[in-house]
Amino acid sequence: MSDRTRAHVFVSGTVQGVYYRANTRERAGEHGVDGWVRNLPDGRVEAVFEGPTEAVESMVEWCWEGSPAANVEDVEAEYGEPRGIEGFEIRR
């Protein structure tokens, strides 16, 4: 079993226009997690986190907070094998 994992996350609620993506990128950098985050047309935020299992799980937990202005209603996470993403970006 690898000590690295990947989480594909969908966050629902008031999560767009509240610096959610910028805060996610900042937090991922602090945790040494690679991946990306983007807004979806339906109002959700989608993110992928790859890195040490503990750090990725910490990021998924943090998604419930997000940014101070966010009002998170739900976080769905699907775990899988890392695909070798390097760095963390905000996608448009």
Tell me the per-residue pLDDT of 33-92, one tens digit each, with 9 for 90 and over: 999 999 999 999 999 999 999 999 999 999 999 999 999 999 999 999 999 999 999 998
Q: Which of 6, 21, 27, 44 is catalytic?
A: 21
Tell me whether residue 21 is one of the annotated catalytic residues: yes
Mean pLDDT, rounded, of the chain: 96
Report all structural domains of the chain as residue ranges with CATH numbers, in order of start: 15-91 (3.30.70.100)
Residue bearing tokens 């419930």 = 64
Closest by Cα among 2, 6, 92, 87 to 49: 6
Calculate the alpha carbon distances from 30 to 16, 44, 56, 65, 87 in Å: 22, 23, 12, 16, 12
- For the whole model, what pTM was predicted? 0.95
pLDDT 10s digits, 56-73: 999 999 999 999 999 999
44 included as an active-site residue? no
